[in-house]
Amino acid sequence: MPENRQIAGLDLDRLDRIGTHLDQRYIQPGRLPGALTLVARRGELAWVKAQGLMDVERNLPVSRDTVFRIYSMTKPVTSVAMMQLYEKGCFLLNDPVHKYIPGWKNMRVFKSGIYPDFLTEPATTTMTIRDLFTHMSGLTYGFMNRTNVDAAYRELKLDGSRSLTLGDLVNRLAELPLEFSPGTAWNYSVGTDVLGYLVQLLADQPFDDYLRENIFEPLDMPDTGFHVNNLQAERFAACYLYEQGDRMKLYDDPESSPFRKEGSYLSGGGGLVSTIDDYFHFAQALCQGGEYQGRRIIGRKTLEFMRLNHLPDNQDLPGLSVGAFSEAPYAGNGFGLGFSVKTDVARSQTNGSVGEYGWGGLASTHFFIDPVEELVVIFMTQLIPSSSYAIRQELRGIVSGALVD
């Protein structure tokens, strides 16, 4: 019998099951255009595989340096940026948001009505900065399609219209009611975009400049940013939309994509593009307590604080959520300062470790870090919505099965 191939306590033959699974179940049947998957452990890159096409219409293959829309995988980056400023004493988590955005001082909560004729009542609590991190602010997303409040978000294009600015966003949100009093429920929201506004306010520099100087350049992430430049254009993937019958259609052509233009709206909640190696540098820095290749972006103790479950009474999402969408399963998962956090492995019904943390993006990209196993997994593809298939849970099962020591 040939000896098992192993790197960093991972069985490579078992990791090869990832490629077989994705190819047979998703790529060959036309359910996904292509995929790029990375697995690292104990600081060592163990397995990377590009499969399928990044652009079906032009028959262009996925490659190691393909540029992807990472959408909500932007949120952990923004959260780390904000916590860098926490480490400088710029704010406290229990600070009221209106301390920095005065127009938010007397927020009100929706009772009834249709925009612009809402009936509201005063919020019973004060929104804090921690509420923005944890999605307990009472804000929402227009794509939820759940309430008359999110309908107003859609009408005002508050989910990320590139004609907005961050200043426009906070001003318009001040005019709309909250879905609930802050701190009383969990609802996925534009709260991380508001954190991006606070980063540029507290740092006194444009948000994109701050990210470049304090995260992207230190971690050698040259392909990460809010738009795709001319040098990246030929590596930029097409994005697809799920259709009934497990099919897909073109959603965003890379040649005419809004990401090809520099917009005024720098969305801290979903505006970045990146490559798998760029994002690996960021994720590996988190896995190593805040530093990568001798460059520290955040303190070890700060990161430990961020990946605690910050939901009240250590609850998981089913106990607090009023919405129906999350980039992580609800059961067995709480929420920290910018990440989902696994609190109960059995309840989550997906293999892993208590304390595992990460997040995903609208186009089905995903990453997670298992600090117990010193494991980083990143999955890149471009299919909207991320709820189309249960690939994220399937990958956890395959990767966990490859751990040998």
Say which residue the tokens 């300062």 belong to: 337
More confident residue, 263 or 386: 386
- Quote the pLDDT of residue 23: 98
pLDDT above 90: residue 160: no
d(CA 183, CA 243): 37
Single-letter residue type at 304: E
- Quote the pLDDT of residue 225: 98
R_g of the chain computed on alpha carbons: 21
User: Is residue 68 domain-shared with residue 106, that is, in the same domain?
Assistant: no
Tokens (6 digits) for 254: 């890379």
Q: Residue 149's domain spans which residues?
A: 84-203
* 405 part of a folded domain: no
User: Is residue 158 domain-shared with residue 300, that is, in the same domain?
Assistant: no
User: Is residue 92 domain-shared with residue 10, that is, in the same domain?
Assistant: no
Number of domains the chain contains: 2
What is the per-residue DSSP string for 186-213? B---THHHHHHHHHHHHHTS-HHHHHII
* 282 part of a folded domain: yes
Residues 6+ apart with CB under 8 A from 129: 82, 91, 92, 93, 94, 95, 97, 195, 198
Please write the tens of the pLDDT for every residue from 105-154: 999 999 999 999 999 999 999 999 999 999 999 999 999 999 999 999 99
Closest CA to 365 of 291, 272, 289, 303: 272
* 343 part of a folded domain: yes
User: Is residue 199 domain-shared with residue 263, that is, in the same domain?
Assistant: no
d(CA 166, CA 179): 21
pLDDT above 80: residue 177: yes
d(CA 68, CA 380): 7
Please write the tens of the pLDDT for every residue from 217-255: 999 999 999 999 999 999 999 999 999 999 999 999 999
User: Is residue 391 domain-shared with residue 279, that is, in the same domain?
Assistant: yes
Out of 148, 175, 203, a domain closes at: 203
- Quote the pLDDT of residue 324: 82
Average pLDDT over the chain reads 97
> Could you tell me if 57 and 273 are in contact, meaning their C-beta atoms sit under 8 angstroms apart?
no
d(CA 356, CA 334): 10
User: Is residue 51 domain-shared with residue 152, that is, in the same domain?
Assistant: no
pLDDT above 70: residue 1: no
pLDDT above 90: residue 189: yes
Out of 203, 237, 258, a domain closes at: 203
Out of 169, 188, 203, a domain closes at: 203
Question: What is this structure's pTM?
Answer: 0.98
Split at pLDDT 50, 70, 90, the class of 161 is confident
User: Is residue 156 domain-shared with residue 35, that is, in the same domain?
Assistant: no
User: Is residue 322 domain-shared with residue 392, that is, in the same domain?
Assistant: yes
Tokens (6 digits) for 221: 């992430």
